[in-house]
């Protein structure tokens, strides 16, 4: 498919959280839901390096077919139990054609992990310049 087949891409991939077999901890409800929907559960348990390669390949394909902006939504992941470190999506995506980074303020949520502040934001990385951009007064922080 030649470059320019689509004007924009908006995506929010699975986060590779490995929740299917998670022991629950303070969030035992996840284990209960996983057991209830075990046959319908999506594969979200890849080794970290494979997951990052998969995400890079997906964004590379978007770059190949997209004429304008690619909006890639992802959380910063604190994976201390699993990998012993924090993963920021820009680490594997690179910033070569990053047009802007938007902070999506998702608002308050339940405090399900009291060992650190509750995550109330995600990042929207906009790669490549949009084919058109109407200045509507947007800032780099979106609340909705």
Tens of pLDDT, residue by residue over 86-144, are 888 898 888 888 999 999 998 887 766 566 677 788 899 999 988 776 666 788 898 87
Which residue in this structure is represented by tokens 């924009």? 8
- Is pLDDT of 24 > 90? no
How much is the pLDDT for 113? Answer: 58
pLDDT tens readout for residues 72-90: 998 887 765 566 788 888 9
pLDDT tens readout for residues 10-19: 988 887 766 5
How much is the pLDDT for 101? Answer: 92
The 3-state secondary structure of the chain, one letter per residue: CCCCCECCEEECCCCCCCCCCCCCHHHHHHHHHHHHCHHHCCCCCCCHHHHHHHHHHHHHHHHHHECCCEEEEECCEEECCCCCEEECHHHHHCCCCEEEEEEEECCCCCCCCCCCCCCCEEEEEEECCCCCCCCCCCCCEEEC
How much is the pLDDT for 118? Answer: 76
Structure tokens at 43: 């594969």
How much is the pLDDT for 109? Answer: 73
Nearest alpha carbon to residue 96 among 58, 57, 63:
63
Mean pLDDT over 49-59 rounds to: 90
Q: How confident is the model at residue 26 (pLDDT cuts 50, 70, 90)?
A: very low
Higher pLDDT pick, 112 / 66: 66
């Amino acid at each position: 498919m030649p470059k320019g087949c689509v004007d924009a891409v908006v995506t929010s991939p699975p986060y590779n959280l490995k929740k299917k077999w998670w022991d629950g901890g303070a969030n035992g409800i996840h284990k209960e839901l996983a057991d209830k929907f075990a046959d319908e559960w999506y594969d979200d348990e890849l080794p970290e390096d494979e997951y990052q390669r998969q995400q890079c390949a997906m964004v590379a394909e978007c770059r190949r077919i997209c004429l304008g902006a690619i909006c890639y939504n992802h959380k910063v992941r604190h994976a201390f139990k699993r990998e012993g470190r924090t993963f920021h999506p820009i680490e594997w995506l690179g910033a070569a054609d990053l047009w802007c980074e938007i902070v999506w303020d998702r608002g308050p949520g339940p405090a399900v992990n009291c060992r650190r502040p509750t995550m109330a934001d995600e990042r929207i990385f906009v790669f490549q310049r949009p084919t058109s951009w109407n200045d509507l007064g947007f800032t780099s922080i979106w609340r909705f």
